[in-house]
Amino acid sequence: MKAAILGFGTVGSGVWKVLKENQEQVKRYLGAPVEIAHVLDLRTFEGHPVQQVLTQNIEDIITDPEVEVVVECMGGLHPAYEFVHQALTEGKAVVTSNKALVAAYGADLMETACDHQTDFFFEASVCGGIPVLRTIRHSLAQEQILAVEGIFNGTTNFILSRMEQGLTYEAALAEAQAKGYAEADPTADVEGIDACRKLAIIASMLCGHAVRYEDIPTEGITKVTSEEVQQMRAVGKRIRLIARVTMENGTPVMKVGPEAIDAGHPLAQVKDVYNAVLIRGNMVGDIMLQGQGAGSEATASAIVSDVLNALNDRRRGIFEPACWTE
Ligand code: HSE
């Protein structure tokens, strides 16, 4: 079974690592190994074994009939959209971690995937390694979901946690960037846009039609000062960037912004790059998932999970219907 990776940065190289180091687990699940046949990147990676499969030409991947699944980790909207669209049109399954792409073109790409009887999966686009989308879609398919809320951005949670320890905002952001948590342009993280896109993806899944992330009231953490963080700490509160959707008569009500919450609240215990997602179902009650929301290996783990599910679907001759439409 052959796969290709678009982009060999923090996430793409993580996918390589997970598929190599956990090949026994992969084989046990699929009954066969997954071979990385091509990696698309303009860089050369001297001395790295990826050199043997590197290409700078997307056509090498699209026209290879043996490639069944394409993993998109390039980020950005273009040319990611065109490459993903082309791969789906060729009937290949596509897995992405690119929330900007899913928030902007999710309905379009899922429709294209269905038209060509293949899968378009994006678990890693929301909260890194936490299996939140599959939990909502499959494990909680029987539930009326009343609300989903939590900490959806690792970079800002890392910065707020470090500020609690006395670091400046700038020093904490530099550390988050060095660890590979932040987006290429960290504005999307610190202004709340990254969390807002993830909330739009979840809300679209809950209501079955595309929710525009631009319509969600959003505030980031750039106005939160070290003094405020310390003042809140002194009165037993912690500042966290909270994203929330509540379903009211079938309509999603959404917001992203910093909130001061009691130190004893479960979300206040979530520190560093960890994310947490609280899902409220009408029958099951509250479920909380917690895990690393960013970083190479955690995000790559969620991608590989999608790769295995997509390959399993192909083997069984099935594909998933669209989660939402325009
Ligand atoms: N920049 C994102 C974050 C990466 O910090 O959460 C994962 O989506």
Q: Is 194 in the pocket of ligand 1 (CB under 6 A)?
A: yes
CA-nearest residue, atom 7 of ligand 1: 294
Q: Distance between CA 270 and CA 291 in Å, rounded?
A: 9
| Active-site position among 2, 92, 179, 198 | 198
Q: Is 152 in the pocket of ligand 1 (CB under 6 A)?
A: no
Q: Which atom of ligand 1 is nearest to the CA of 155?
A: 5
Tell me the pLDDT of the chain (326 aa) as tens digits.
Answer: 999 999 999 999 999 999 999 999 999 999 999 999 999 999 999 999 999 999 999 999 999 999 999 999 999 999 999 999 999 999 999 999 999 999 999 999 999 999 999 999 999 999 999 999 999 999 999 999 999 999 999 999 999 999 999 999 999 999 999 999 998 889 999 999 999 999 999 999 999 999 999 999 999 999 999 999 999 999 999 999 999 999 999 899 999 999 999 999 999 999 999 999 999 999 999 999 999 999 999 999 999 999 999 999 999 999 999 999 99
Q: Which two structure tokens, joined as six digits, stand for 302?
A: 């969620």
Q: Which atom of ligand 1 is nearest to the CA of 97?
A: 8
Note the pLDDT of residue 184: 82
271 is catalytic: no
Residue closest to 157 by CA, chosen among 300, 254, 294, 266: 294
Against a cut of 0.75, is the pTM above it? yes
Distances (CA, A) of 196 to 48, 177, 202: 36, 20, 10
Task: Map out the domains of the chain with their CATH numbers.
Answer: 2-128+297-316 (3.40.50.720), 132-292 (3.30.360.10)
Q: Which atom of ligand 1 is nearest to the CA of 182?
A: 1
Distance 100 CA to ligand 1 centre (A): 11
Q: Which two structure tokens, joined as six digits, stand for 316?
A: 């069984």
Q: Which two structure tokens, joined as six digits, stand for 207?
A: 């209501």
